[in-house]
Amino acid sequence: MEYLSLVISFIVSGGLSTLVTLKLSRRAKEIETRTAKVDFADKAVLFMERNNDGLMEDVANLKAEVKLLSKFKCEKIDCKIRIPS
């Protein structure tokens, strides 16, 4: 449909206005594409930040567990040589 309007415009009003219209439509498409890419990147960053928050909580929990287990001689949960506190 776009090309049909360009051909009709070229025939009716002259080649110069057609070339200007073509250039403007290409720029509009480029802007749409860039906007879509930026939106996707924003969503990806937000997703990563949410996952990072969850991972940081997991790391804090694991550090607390290691600190608790370090009271024993062996830090493995199912170790046979543990000394209870």
Residue 40: pLDDT band with limits 50, 70, 90: very high
Given a cut of 80, is residue 35 above it in pLDDT?
yes
Better pLDDT: 73 or 30:
30
- In a domain? residue 13: yes
- DSSP structure string for 17-67: HHHHHHHHHHHHHHHHHHHHHHHHHHHHHHHHHHHHHHHHHHHHHHHHHHH
- In a domain? residue 84: no
Domain that holds residue 46: 2-69
Given a cut of 60, is residue 46 above it in pLDDT?
yes
- In a domain? residue 74: no
* Count of structural domains, the chain: 1
Given a cut of 70, is residue 67 above it in pLDDT?
yes
- In a domain? residue 47: yes
- In a domain? residue 80: no
Answer for the pair 46, 37: CB distance below 8 angstroms, yes or no.
no
